[in-house]
């Protein structure tokens, strides 16, 4: 097991951008920037014995800052915070105080506002080379940032195991009641040729999904997946029942005990033989098949187009801060926010 620090030569907000590579004895490795804790590479051995990168991204860090990329920004591989997905009308109330956020997705707030955790340089506070390589990043979001209340300190640890598990462990504390819902936004493609993910086989362990309005904001209603295109309780090709013009951009309520670490999702790609299993303590998983993806000059000069990847975003229910029936996304000063999500790679043959 090893950890390597690689300076990028880039300074943002007076902070140096550094890449961290975690490598296990199999040669699998993950490369993470301290800017937005972006997972730039996740390289594993496929069934043919070839080393294969399973996440979308860029060859150069500077490309993550390119105005053309940011104009149709897909949040490649980054942490999402303070609040994942949408907050309806960009507004929520804690106690007697109402907070109005930036409305950066129509009338709603998306992924933490205009400049979220994904575009901040995080401190590297701990590095370990054994027995499993890991790195811990920390970011302090000050009171009033993006108009969220409270000084919030977030620690995010990435650990790569000998079993090709990438473990993400989150902790957060605040000095004032605030809304928090963190996730990570990696775009996966398990095919050696990348391309459309419609033939990837997908399973999600959820009997219900969340109704959304026309702006993809959750309404509070649960809908059974049985008899619908959203039924992934048994493994099937992603494109088997989908609307080809929409794909999937839906939150699934997992069949699990709240807070327990359990299997949420399993994705299989036949040519590579790779299996991505996602375990989480979170109550929901959001499946996004990248309808709006339109990125030029990705890794190896490849363009990334609609449906060229899938995301499994583990989190609390979107817009839960406005829906009392959902598990709370309010963090109080005496509480500790915790979350664990594991991306485990294995072979299907």
Active site residues: 185, 313
Q: What is the DSSP pairing of strand 337-347 with strand 165-174?
A: antiparallel
d(CA 102, CA 146): 7
d(CA 194, CA 299): 11
Phi-psi region of 104 (alpha: psi -120 to 50; beta: other; left: phi over 0): alpha
- Cα–Cα nearest to 30, from 70, 71, 2: 2
- Cα–Cα nearest to 92, from 173, 149, 156: 149
Any residues with CB less than 8 A from the CB of 87 and at least 6 apart, and which? 101, 108, 109, 179, 318, 319, 321, 322
Q: What is 276-295 written as a DSSP string?
A: EEEEESSSEEEEE--TT--B
CA angle 177, 180, 184 (to 5 degrees): 160
Any residues with CB less than 8 A from the CB of 101 and at least 6 apart, and which? 87, 90, 91, 92, 109, 113, 146, 147, 148
Q: Which residues pair with 139 in a beta bridge?
A: 154
Q: Can you say whether the dihedral through the CA atoms of 75, 187, 278, 250 is positive or negative? A: positive
**Token pair of 106 as six digits:** 């129509």
């Amino acid at each position: 097991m090893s950890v390597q620090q690689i300076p990028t030569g880039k300074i943002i907000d007076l902070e140096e951008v550094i890449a961290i590579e975690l490598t296990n004895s199999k040669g699998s490795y993950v490369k993470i920037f301290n800017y937005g804790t972006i997972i730039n590479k996740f390289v594993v051995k496929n069934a043919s014995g070839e080393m294969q990168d399973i996440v979308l991204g860029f060859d150069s860090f500077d490309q993550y800052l390119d105005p053309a990329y940011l104009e149709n920004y897909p949040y490649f591989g980054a942490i999402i915070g303070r609040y994942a997905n949408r907050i309806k009308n960009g507004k929520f109330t804690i106690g007697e105080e109402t907070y109005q956020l930036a409305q950066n997705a129509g009338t709603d707030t998306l992924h933490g506002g205009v400049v979220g955790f994904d575009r901040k340089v995080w401190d590297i506070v701990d590095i370990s080379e054994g027995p499993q390589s890991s790195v811990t990043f920390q970011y302090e979001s000050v009171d009033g940032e993006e108009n969220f209340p409270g000084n919030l300190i977030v620690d995010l640890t990435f650990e790569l195991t000998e079993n090709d598990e990438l473990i993400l462990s989150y902790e957060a504390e605040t000095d004032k009641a605030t809304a928090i819902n963190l996730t990570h936004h990696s775009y996966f493609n398990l095919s050696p040729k990348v391309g459309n993910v419609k033939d990837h086989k997908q399973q999600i362990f959820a009997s219900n999904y969340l109704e959304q309005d026309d702006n993809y904001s959750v309404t509070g209603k649960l809908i059974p997946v049985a008899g619908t295109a959203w039924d992934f309780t048994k493994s099937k090709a992603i494109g088997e029942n989908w609307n080809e013009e929409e794909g999937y951009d839906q939150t699934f309520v997992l069949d699990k005990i709240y807070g327990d670490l359990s299997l949420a999702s399993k994705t299989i790609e036949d040519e590579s033989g790779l299996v991505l299993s996602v375990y989480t303590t979170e109550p929901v998983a959001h499946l996004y098949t990248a309808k709006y993806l339109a990125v030029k000059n990705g890794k190896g000069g490849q363009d990334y187009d609609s449906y060229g990847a899938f995301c499994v975003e583990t989190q609390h229910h979107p817009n839960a801060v406005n829906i009392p029936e959902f598990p709370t996304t309010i963090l109080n000063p005496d509480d500790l926010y915790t979350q664990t999500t594991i991306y485990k790679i294995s072979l299907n043959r």
